[in-house]
Amino acid sequence: MLTFWRHGYETTSVADLTAAMGVTAPSLYTAFGDKKLLFLEAVRLYAGDPDVMARTIGDAPSALEAARDLMTAAATAYTGEETPRGCLLASATASGSAASCDVQQAVADIRRGVQRRLDERIQRDIADGALPLTTNPAELSGLVMAVIQGMSVLARDGASRASLLATVQAALRAWPGMAAER
């Protein structure tokens, strides 16, 4: 997972993987099938259980809290000392040949799933009166997703954890009810 995270899907060779895992190529293939299946396994390990993610968003006190948690967790994870910079999902399949478009789709599906959960959470807040009726859910969920994915690029470029957390705080000022002025 760490090797794919650091170097991407197509740009990581099976030789890199066997070296990192300390196993031989035949062991890898009997255990995981092929490189694509191993990558998808690494993605599952990285993303965690989708139900847990859905529950985390659903159980947050408000959509605002959910968005804040998501972005803060991303900013922290992308600047960890023990892990590669940025987001495995954002960088590993950001580009690729036509041969890997199904892998790109699988990763995109995860992103779309997160956005959908967040979208639904925002709609619930609107229905509950916690957010104004004029709130545009897609607009807000899109902003949160863009900030999360964008921070991955900034983290790879060397941005500090503090600067990313500041970016999160700035993004939250776009939320309905958060004063833009100090």
Q: Which residues bind a copy of itself (CB under 8 A)?
A: 7-13, 16, 90-92, 94-98, 100, 104, 108, 111-112, 132, 134, 136, 138-140, 142-143, 145-154, 156-159, 163-164, 166-167, 169-182
Could you tell which of a copy of itself, DNA, none binds residue 15, using a CB distance below 5 to 8 A set by kind? DNA
Task: Count CB neighbours of 152 within 10 A.
Answer: 23
Query: What distances in angstroms separate CA 153 from CA 6, 91, 157, 170, one per listed residue?
Result: 13, 8, 6, 17
Question: Using alpha carbons only, what angle is made at residue 106 by residues 103 and 111, rounded to the nearest 5 degrees?
Answer: 130
Binding residue (CB under 7 A) for DNA from 4, 12, 68, 78: 12
Q: Does 16 bind DNA (CB under 7 A)?
A: yes
Site for DNA in 32-71 (CB under 7 A): 34-36
Binding residue (CB under 7 A) for DNA from 27, 76, 136, 160: 27
**8 Å CB contact between 155 and 78:** yes
**8 Å CB contact between 149 and 90:** yes
- Cα radius of gyration rounded to whole Å, the chain: 18
The distance of closest approach from Cβ of residue 30 to a copy of itself in the complex, given in angstroms and rounded to an integer, is 26
Could you tell which of DNA, a copy of itself, none binds residue 157, using a CB distance below 5 to 8 A set by kind? a copy of itself
Binding residue (CB under 7 A) for DNA from 26, 61, 129, 158: 26
The distance of closest approach from Cβ of residue 31 to DNA in the complex, given in angstroms and rounded to an integer, is 9
Kindly tell me which of 22 and 158 has the beta carbon lying closer to a copy of itself: 158
CA 27 – CA 179 distance, rounded (Å): 57
**8 Å CB contact between 25 and 86:** no
Q: Does 24 bind DNA (CB under 7 A)?
A: yes
> Both ends of the chain: CA-CA distance in Å?
42
Could you tell which of a copy of itself, DNA, none binds residue 146, using a CB distance below 5 to 8 A set by kind? a copy of itself
CA 71 – CA 165 distance, rounded (Å): 8
Residues that bind DNA (CB under 7 A): 12-16, 23-27, 29-30, 34-36
